[in-house]
Amino acid sequence: MLQAINPRQPIAAQIYEQLRRAITSLSMLPSEALSEKELSLQLGVSRTPVREALIRLADEGLIDIFPQRGSFVAPIRLRDVEEAQFIRESLEVAVAKRLSAGCSSRFLAEVKSNLSDQEKAVSAEALDLFLELDEAFHRSFCEEAGLSKSWRVIQTVKLQMDRVRYLSLPDLGHLRALLVQHRSIVDAIESGDAELAGAAMALHLKEVLKTAQKLSEQRRDLVEH
């Protein structure tokens, strides 16, 4: 459900964030219609900022805009997931290798604490919390490496990947496998082995491709080849 807009903050940006979150978390499903008029009435704003938000989401591949027909939540397209994964792997493997050459004890302590919290989240079947911790885990690598702009790039390209991640949430076995991979990445970085750290990160980030392919066979209503 969309929340009220704060008139003291940029309106189009708020609308974009709400719609992006709804789409990536699958609260809004592929093929769902998005009416400028209905959204503007629901949010209590003019149609202009709604249109701006929809155009931005279309640029990112999350919605399709058809002249004379309207706007619709886009399907999860395998080719988009594959390209996003390629870009993300290229950046995060390089980050992992850089950190293996030297990182702070504070970072290692914090990332290990995050891993402990991930384990508790899986045990408690707190699926949304696991995703939040997973996001913080990867973001902390870029921050420790002094590459915050790289994380912003990753955030932009991984939107299609996020929808795949949400679809895989009910599979606790999958989450446990991700946790094991997270630990392997941290162990490799702590050991100072750049090649091992890069390989561990690459293996981990390729998981989404397996999941996407599997979902394309099971959920053809959501995933498009």
**pLDDT (tens digit per residue) in 93-126:** 999 999 999 999 999 999 999 999 999 999 999 9
Distance CA 156, CA 208 (A): 16
Predicted confidence at residue 67, as pLDDT, reads: 87
Handedness of CA 195, 201, 207, 208 (dihedral sign): negative
Residues 6+ apart with CB under 8 A from 120: 126
Which of 160, 139, 161 lies closest to 150, judged by CA? Answer: 139
Of 106, 215, 96, nearest to 161 by C-alpha is 215
- Position 222 scores a pLDDT of 84
Looking at residue 76, what is its pLDDT?
92
- pLDDT value at residue 133: 97
Say what the pLDDT of residue 169 is.
75
For 192, left (φ over 0), alpha (ψ -120 to 50), or beta? left
Q: How far apart are CA 132 and CA 114, in angstroms?
A: 10
* Residue 4 confidence class, pLDDT cut points 50, 70, 90: confident
Output 3 or 10, whichever has higher pLDDT.
Answer: 10
**Closest alpha carbon to 125 in 175, 166, 164:** 175
Q: Tell me which residue has tokens 């915050």.
A: 148
pLDDT of 225 strictly over 80: no
C-alpha span between 84 and 158 (Å, rounded): 6
Predicted TM-score (pTM) of the model is 0.87
User: How much of the chain exceeds pLDDT 70, in percent?
Assistant: 100
Cβ-based burial of 136 (10 A; exposed 0-12, middle 13-18, buried ≥19)? middle
pLDDT score of 62: 94
Confidence at residue 22, expressed as pLDDT on a 0 to 100 scale: 93
pLDDT confidence bin for 220, thresholds 50/70/90: confident
pLDDT at 39: 93
**Dist. CA 173–CA 153, nearest whole Å:** 29
Q: What's the rounded Cα separation, in Å, for the pair 105 and 67?
A: 55
pLDDT score at 28: 92
For 33-92, how does the pLDDT look when each residue is reduced to its tens digit (9 = 90+)? Answer: 999 999 999 998 999 999 999 999 999 999 999 988 999 999 999 999 999 999 999 999
CB-based contact 145:99 (threshold 8 Å): yes
The pLDDT tens digits of the residues spanning 147-190 come to 999 999 999 899 889 999 888 877 788 899 999 999 999 999 99
